[in-house]
Amino acid sequence: MRGARRIVILTGAGISAESGISTFRDPDGVWSRYDLNEVATPDGFRRNPELVQAFYNARRSALRKVEPNAAHLALARLESQMDTCIVTQNVDDLHERAGSRDVLHMHGELSGALCGNCGHRWPAGGDISCGDKCPVCKCCRVRPDVVWFGEMPYHTQRIDELVAAADIFAAIGTSGEVSPANSLVFDAADAGARTIEFNLVETIITHAFSEARRGPAGEIVPRWVDELLGY
Ligand code: BJW
């Protein structure tokens, strides 16, 4: 492991865009096609569980057809040589498939099922249907193990600790619209980290970063990793 620098990388939907997964808030994004109140809130799930299960089943199926891109692969290469942790808002598994091991999914994972009654979590395997039963409490309130609006993200304490100890904090392909992920750069800067944003465009949190690089993640992230590794 080279150097002693601790690197925390926050990723968002933009890092998976070049793999063929839609972002949320870009003009052709998921929220241009679906009402987030209907598919990404607990109330929406209560109102129409079939619609929500179909929305996530379709995304789970689409995920099986795509591959990690150059940005995911570069971050896995970085982790193999430097102390690197990925905090991802993404529910896909492209970081893991690229070879990253230290990955925290703060908004859950498409591959997971969650019991809305007892809180048990398990690998979903394939589709989740409204009649499915929880293997522990046997109730029928099985849902995707993702974090909807108004719900508490996962791993928040661990993420806060990592960010407080980071020497470098990078955010890749996130609009900075969603809290609490969008506050991590402020915490990292307060703790003295070098902060760097990678995005196609300026975002509402760009001002919080000490450096910003513009372009497709698949191009600008591998270049940055090469710089860090001294190539
Ligand atoms: C590229 C690129 C390329 C494109 N290369 N770049 C009022 C009412 C209720 C709640 C709130 C409220 N005000 C604030 C809140 C809190 C709320 C929130 O932030 N809302 C705002 C949107 C207003 N947050 C929450 O509710 C969170 N929980 C919480 O705060 O808990 C504390 C709490 C709980 C209870 C009570 C009190 C406090 C939970 C948020 C959960 C978010 N869930 C989703 C869905 C997950 C499951 C799923 O995937 O379906 O997570 S929403 C969606 O947004 C998803 C993403 O992870 C998240 C962030 O999006 P991301 O990744 O930034 O994507 P985009 O599309 O926004 O941006 C893509 C970027 O990539 C763009 O900038 C492009 O330019 C760039 N890009 N191609 C480089 N090739």
Quick: pLDDT tens for 119-150.
999 999 899 999 999 999 999 999 999 999 99
CB atoms < 10 A from the CB of 64, how many? 9
The residue-averaged pLDDT of 5-17 equals 97
Q: Indicate if the pLDDT at residue 161 is higher than 90.
A: yes
Q: Indicate if the pLDDT at residue 31 is higher than 70.
A: yes
Distance from C-alpha of 35 to C-alpha of 12, rounded to nearest angstrom = 20
Coil, strand, or helix at residue 169? strand
Q: Indicate if the pLDDT at residue 54 is higher than 80.
A: yes
88: DSSP letter: E
Query: Which atom of ligand 1 lies nearest, measured to the CA of 146?
Result: 47
Nearest residue (by CA) to ligand 1, atom 10, is 150
* pLDDT for the residue 124: 92
* pLDDT for the residue 2: 57
* pLDDT for the residue 108: 98
CB atoms < 10 A from the CB of 223, how many? 14
Between the CA of 229 and the centroid of ligand 1 the distance, in Å, is 31
Q: What would the pLDDT profile of 62-83 be if each residue is shown by its tens digit?
A: 999 999 999 999 999 999 999 9
Between the CA of 178 and the centroid of ligand 1 the distance, in Å, is 4
Q: What angle do CA 39, 42, 46 make, to 5 degrees?
A: 85
Does the Cβ of 179 fall within 6 Å of ligand 1? yes
* pLDDT for the residue 1: 61
**For residue 171, what are the β-bridge partners?**
10, 197
Which residue from 151, 135, 132, 156 is spatially nearest to 49, judged by alpha carbons? 132
155: left (phi over 0), alpha (psi -120 to 50) or beta: left
Mind telling me the catalytic residues?
107
Q: Indicate if the pLDDT at residue 56 is higher than 90.
A: yes
Q: What would the pLDDT profile of 89-120 be if each residue is shown by its tens digit?
A: 999 999 999 999 999 999 999 999 999 999 99
Distance from C-alpha of 82 to C-alpha of 27, rounded to nearest angstrom = 36
Between the CA of 30 and the centroid of ligand 1 the distance, in Å, is 12
* pLDDT for the residue 4: 64
The residue-averaged pLDDT of 208-225 equals 98
Assigned token pair, 116: 């809305």
* pLDDT for the residue 5: 84
Assigned token pair, 117: 């009654």
Rounded to two decimals, the pTM is: 0.97
Is the pLDDT higher at 219 or at 131?
Answer: 219
